[in-house]
Structure 1
């Protein structure tokens, strides 16, 4: 028997590949299926089951494509309702893969169909728990995502989650290995540890949610401080329930190289978003007007989901040469399947064609220090509130990037402001969005707070109340 965690850092997502005696099972696969198929061919195993822990909100699973290509059935836990063929398992139902068994543990709370899978080895020993979004390391699944679909409050769902954890999971042996669906950085939880594998015994000691005195305190703790879910979550759930376009079709359509003239014409007539995925340093020096920068070398897909939101939005890509396939793939993982093509030859081809280009007004942290010295200026910090509270530039305003669509219209276009994030990755996103919507009276600080911290700019290192626009 072999268990392999296939972890995707940019999504903070764990898929699982299990083999025994010539048979395999895959739990919560990613959208692109070819790596799994190639791996099974190499290992000489046949896929017997595809297990889904629940209807994922933060990514589109590869379950449908993988089932079509391998003829392996898709398995969901009790209460799941799909618009494609699937086995809807019963609680405690057993599935055999080679010499091992997978036992279904229905663990509702994150969603009603949420299910954990308990692996029993060839000796009958309960060995591993694939806990989906029910139990994370250091946290549990947020109980607010399924409210509309269930007509239940987040408190009622949290109560279900408590019962699942305390009645189904906590009684299991301490030696069992916990394999969660997500790790630190995922929006599906709020307090995850950086590790991606742990023993259940250690989680019983260290996970705050597993150490509450009663159900009431559990509900209060797990619902406290939940940020609004990203807007694309609901659309991803629907794709996972109803089905989606084949990834192969999505990739083929997206890898459509367009000349600068074709690219410009397509943007004009399709209403497509021009998404530039080059690094923020390169983007700031020159880009196609109205394009939005979300760098590929970062939390790319989640930020696209948070800022673009509508998975049906047509997209045209500007990438570095060779990054086209990776970009289309990562967009598809969060349901953005409508890539119309990419700029052949990249931004250099656009520039050489003599077409209009734009720039970000960007200065160094040292220049920022000189420009604000002994002056009254407006400074916007677009980091998360927790980052701002830890330390920030004195008199700066906390306006997280995730909420830019809420605060952008409050900007006084007559008043200049400085803007920064942590390192420059997020502030360039914000700068591109601002300029695409006609806001230009600002200056972005290169290197963000990391660079500012090494200057003499006055900073606060204590928690203070978040400021708001006046």
Structure 2
């Protein structure tokens, strides 16, 4: 896989495969956060297989690139894919994803949307019902326009991986979502 430099990015699809926390702390605008396990499951929902993909990784994760390249090939991504090291991106070109602790979210009294991106079949821990909208992550690419963008959107999943991925997608559409740190696991631990 060819190494790409930040200056060489033009219209490629950017997929940041770092952890949710790495992505939240600083990412390239309009990049989609799909970690290696999520990439195989969700890439074809969000990406055009006929367009090149650039994987954004941290230098310590370069070893994952061979496997990612193989998975991309299996999924039908045939363009010249490449990778970019996040450490080589100028800091002024990075943005952060807002997060909120689960306890702070549970104490909210103003109006908002709680976007649960888990598939209904996997929900074993029900989300808080106040202002709850369930759009499974695989459907969000088509259904996000049904969200009331005048309200703050909080994304939620089981642990925070897909809610960060959902936030990355919503950010690329001009929205300003916040990720609930730790997902339903954290909410359940608070005991509300």
Indicate which of 261, 275, 281 corresponds to 2:21.
281
Alignment correspondent of 2:72 = 331
Q: In the aligned structure 1, how far is the partner of 2:26 from the partner of 2:6?
A: 15
Distance 1:418 1:354 in 2: 26
8 Å Cα contact 2:116/2:136 also seen in 1: yes
Q: For structure 1, which runs of at least 5 residues remain unmatched after alignment?
A: 1-254, 458-470
What secondary structure sits across from 2:190 in the alignment? coil
2:96 maps to what in 1? 359
1:261 lines up with 2:2 in the alignment: no
Aligned residue in 2 for 1:169: none
Residue in 2 that maps onto 1:377:
112
Q: 1:290-369 maps to which residues of 2 (within 5 A)?
A: 290-296=30-36, 298-308=37-47, 310-321=48-59, 322=62, 323-343=64-84, 346-350=85-89, 353-369=90-106
Q: Which has the higher contact order (CA 8 A, sep 6+)?
A: 2
Aligned residues of 2:32 and 2:168 also touching (Cα < 8 A) = yes
Q: 2:167 aligns with which of 409, 413, 431?
A: 431
CA separation in 1, counterparts of 2:160 and 2:188?
13
Structure 2: how far apart are the matches of 1:339 and 1:404? Answer: 27
1:38-187 mapped onto 2 (5 Å cutoff): none
CA deviations on 1:40-80 (whole Å, 9 max, x unpaired) are xxxxxxxxxxxxxxxxxxxxxxxxxxxxxxxxxxxxxxxxx
The 8 Å contact of residues 369 and 455 in structure 1, kept in 2 or not, is answered as no
TM-score (norm 1): 0.38
CA distance in 2, matches of 1:349, 1:313: 23
Residue of structure 2 in register with 1:140 after alignment: none
Distance 2:162 2:51 in 1: 21
Residues 326, 355 of structure 1: CA spacing in aligned structure 2 closer, same or farther, 3 A cutoff?
Answer: farther
The whole-number CA distance in structure 2 between the counterparts of 1:449 and 1:388 is 10
| C-alpha distance in 1 between matches for 2:38 and 2:91 | 33
The aligned counterpart of 2:156 is: 420
C-alpha separation in 2, matches of 1:282 and 1:429: 12
CA distance in 2, matches of 1:295, 1:289: 17
Q: How many residues align?
A: 188
Query: Structure 1 340/390 Cα, relative in aligned 2: closer, same or farther at 3 Å?
Result: closer
Distance 2:125 2:100 in 1: 24
Q: Compute the displacement of 1:452 (Å).
A: 1.0
Q: Distance in 2 between matches of 1:326 and 1:454?
A: 35
- Aligned mates of 1:261, 1:378 — CA distance in 2: 37
Q: Decide whether aligned partners of structure 1 residues 300 and 421 sit closer, same or farther in structure 2, where only a CA change above 3 A counts.
A: same
State the SS of the aligned residue for 1:392: coil
- Structure with the higher helix share, 1 or 2: 2
Output aligned runs, 1:388-467, within 5 Å: 388=123, 391-395=126-130, 396-440=132-176, 442-457=177-192
* Higher CA-based Rg: 1
CA root-mean-square deviation: 1.9
Deviation at 1:385, TM superposition (A): 1.2
